[in-house]
């Protein structure tokens, strides 16, 4: 098959990445980025993207949850398209590359093929998925979950943010109307879906490799624990009488860490990233604590087993400390496998570009976890400095990004030609 040599404008792409990074909550100083779904900054970022898509001559469509699709029409527009893309929302105090490299890089891959004079047979579509990050509504990938049928509109509408506002209300106020059920993709909407992303781990850098070819995405789960004790005056209540919800939660959190550290599976990871203490006063005994658990493993069955064991341990600690605990699982998703045909196409692209690569597993989750349910899926990873991500100092170099974009472009060219 004769494939084009993409003509990448890396300076332009880097300028766009920096411009997007500047669209961030003013409360965080650069280089930190915070862009939470359906906030004014999220909407501003979408506007910016919309303009770029139009400049590239792409047909833009936005669905009821705000997923944004930009299509480069192929010569056989009725055939299932080849999809790419990622997210532009950013957790509090994030870096500027997570997700954005896959969206703006996806756009640059298309532009680089346009510059090379390539004419796709199948349409190529870049997607910006709504809310890959779980920051606002507790679970991530709401856009791709809805597109793939992994989440029903009913369940989505039951999600509430920290202010108690429902997902459906918030998305409508943000300007996204229409029926959520219409977000579900038609059968064979995509013939393949491929996402470019920074690795968010240290392996590629340590092994001095250009590209990671993802063969599977680990299984994520999220749970929320509410511990209820008894509040009171920090001076007046003596220690034997206390039922301190935070002290109990602390023991639970340490038990979670110990359980994860003792796992037979080295891939199991557990993180408690949010703790909310009520009433949160210096001189008041905590009466209620809500904390989250993010639990992942490549082995979904082991992840589920550990989740059940953590639940048992938390109950045991609550009884011994005479507090109450309630917990609920927000999501417990199975892992996803990449499609061999897509993996092979990425590998051929790296060979063509003379880039070094390895097969690897994605420990972070991505919208591709859900796209794998509706399309043959693959992912391209590029190294990031020190493996650092979800931090302001997240960094991939222009050369590393260019290698990722060119690998993506050739993969898209091949998959859109078949």
Interface residue list for ligand GLV (CB under 6 A):
133, 140, 364-365
CA 368, CA 179: separation in Å to the nearest integer?
23
Nearest distance from C-beta of residue 148 to ligand GLV, angstroms: 16
Q: Which residue is nearest to Mn ion (CB)?
A: 99
Residue 116, CB half-sphere, CA atoms under 13 Å: how many? 21
- With CB cut-offs between 5 and 8 Å by kind, which of Mn ion, ligand GLV, none does residue 406 bind? none
CA 25, CA 89: separation in Å to the nearest integer?
12
Residue number with CB closer to ligand GLV (202 or 232): 202
Nearest distance from C-beta of residue 184 to ligand GLV, angstroms: 23
- With CB cut-offs between 5 and 8 Å by kind, which of Mn ion, ligand GLV, none does residue 365 bind? ligand GLV
- With CB cut-offs between 5 and 8 Å by kind, which of ligand GLV, Mn ion, none does residue 297 bind? none
Nearest distance from C-beta of residue 291 to Mn ion, angstroms: 20
Selected range binding Mn ion among 45-53, 94-102, 208-216, 263-271, rule: CB under 5 A: 94-102
- With CB cut-offs between 5 and 8 Å by kind, which of Mn ion, ligand GLV, none does residue 118 bind? none
Residue number with CB closer to Mn ion (74 or 99): 99
Q: Kindly determine how many residues on this chain lie close enough to bind Mn ion according to the rule CB under 5 A.
A: 2
Nearest distance from C-beta of residue 220 to ligand GLV, angstroms: 6
Selected range binding Mn ion among 60-68, 91-99, 105-113, 339-347, rule: CB under 5 A: 91-99
Residues 6+ apart with CB under 8 A from 281: none
Nearest distance from C-beta of residue 133 to ligand GLV, angstroms: 6
Nearest distance from C-beta of residue 140 to ligand GLV, angstroms: 6
Residues 6+ apart with CB under 8 A from 316: none
Residues 6+ apart with CB under 8 A from 308: none
Nearest distance from C-beta of residue 97 to ligand GLV, angstroms: 12
Going by the DSSP 8-state scheme, the letter that residue 185 receives in this structure is P
Pairing of strands 219-228, 324-332: antiparallel
Residues 6+ apart with CB under 8 A from 385: 205, 393, 394, 395, 396, 397
Place of tokens 């989440």: 151
When binding is defined by CB under 5 A, the residue of 98, 195, 294, 394 that contacts Mn ion is 98
- With CB cut-offs between 5 and 8 Å by kind, which of ligand GLV, Mn ion, none does residue 89 bind? none
Nearest distance from C-beta of residue 365 to Mn ion, angstroms: 8
In the numeric block, which tokens belong to residue 373? 């349910």
Residue number with CB closer to ligand GLV (94 or 126): 94
Spell 327-358 as b/e; 16+ CB within 10 A means b: beebbebbbbebbeebbebbbbbbeebebebe
Contact map string, positions 157 to 186, toward Mn ion, x by CB under 5 A: ------------------------------
- With CB cut-offs between 5 and 8 Å by kind, which of Mn ion, ligand GLV, none does residue 85 bind? none
Residue number with CB closer to ligand GLV (71 or 87): 87
> What are the φ/ψ torsions at residue 216 (nearest 5 degrees)?
-160, 155
How do the residues of the chain divide into helix, strand and coil, expressed in percent and rounded to 5?
35, 25, 40
Nearest distance from C-beta of residue 104 to Mn ion, angstroms: 13
DSSP letters spanning 6-40: ----HHHHHHHHHHHHTSS-TTS-TT-EEE-TTSH
Residue number with CB closer to ligand GLV (72 or 365): 365
Q: How far is CA 323 from the centre of its chain?
A: 35
- For residue 243, CA distances in Å to 232, 250, 278, 310, 412 come to 9, 13, 13, 21, 59
CA 209, CA 355: separation in Å to the nearest integer?
8
Q: Which residue is nearest to ligand GLV (CB)?
A: 364
Nearest distance from C-beta of residue 198 to Mn ion, angstroms: 8
Residue number with CB closer to Mn ion (98 or 414): 98
CA 362, CA 342: separation in Å to the nearest integer?
16
Residue number with CB closer to Mn ion (72 or 129): 129
Q: What is the CA radius of gyration of the chain?
A: 22
When binding is defined by CB under 5 A, the residue of 6, 74, 85, 99 that contacts Mn ion is 99
Pairing of strands 90-94, 211-217: unpaired
Residue 294 found at the interface with Mn ion (CB under 5 A): no
Selected range binding Mn ion among 3-11, 95-103, 150-158, 312-320, rule: CB under 5 A: 95-103
Tell me which residues touch Mn ion (CB under 5 A): 98-99
């Amino acid at each position: 098959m004769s494939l084009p040599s993409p003509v990448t404008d890396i300076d332009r792409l880097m300028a766009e990445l920096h411009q997007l990074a500047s669209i961030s909550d003013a409360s965080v100083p650069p280089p930190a980025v915070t862009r939470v779904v359906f906030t004014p900054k999220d909407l501003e970022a979408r506007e910016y993207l919309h303009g770029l898509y139009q400049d590239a001559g792409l047909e833009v469509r936005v669905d009821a949850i705000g997923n944004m699709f930009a299509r480069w029409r192929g010569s056989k527009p009725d055939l299932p398209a080849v999809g790419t893309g990622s997210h532009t929302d950013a957790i509090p105090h994030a870096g500027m590359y997570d997700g954005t490299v896959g969206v703006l890089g996806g756009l640059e891959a298309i532009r680089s093929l346009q510059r090379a004079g390539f004419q796709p047979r199948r349409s190529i579509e870049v997607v910006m998925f709504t809310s890959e990050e779980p920051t606002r509504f507790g679970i991530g990938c709401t856009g791709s979950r809805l597109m793939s049928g992994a989440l029903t509109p009913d369940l989505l509408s039951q999600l509430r943010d920290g202010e108690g506002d429902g997902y459906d209300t918030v998305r409508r106020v943000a300007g996204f109307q229409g029926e959520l059920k219409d977000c579900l993709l038609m059968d064979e909407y995509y013939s393949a879906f491929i996402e470019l992303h920074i690795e968010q781990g240290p392996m590629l850098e340590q092994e001095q490799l250009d590209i990671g070819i993802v063969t599977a995405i680990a299984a994520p789960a999220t749970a929320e624990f509410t511990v209820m004790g008894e509040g009171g005056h920090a001076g007046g209540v003596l220690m034997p009488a206390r039922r301190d919800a935070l002290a109990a939660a602390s023991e639970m959190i340490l038990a979670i860490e110990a359980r994860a550290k003792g796992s037979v599976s080295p891939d199991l990871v557990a993180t408690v990233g949010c703790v909310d203490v009520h009433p949160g006063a210096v001189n008041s005994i905590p009466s209620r604590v809500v904390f989250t658990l993010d639990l992942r493993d490549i082995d979904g069955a082991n992840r589920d087993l550990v989740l059940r064991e953590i639940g048992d341990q938390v109950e045991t600690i609550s009884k011994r400390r005479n507090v109450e605990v309630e917990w609920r699982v927000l999501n417990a998703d199975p892992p996803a496998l990449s499609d061999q045909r897509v993996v092979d196409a990425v590998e051929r692209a790296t060979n063509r570009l003379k880039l070094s690569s390895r097969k690897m597993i994605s420990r972070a989750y991505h919208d591709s976890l859900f796209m794998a349910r509706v399309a043959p899926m693959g992912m391209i990873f590029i190294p990031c400095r020190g493996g650092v991500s979800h931090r302001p100092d997240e960094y991939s170099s222009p050369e590393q990004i260019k290698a990722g974009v060119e690998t993506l472009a050739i993969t898209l060219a091949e998959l859109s030609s078949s």
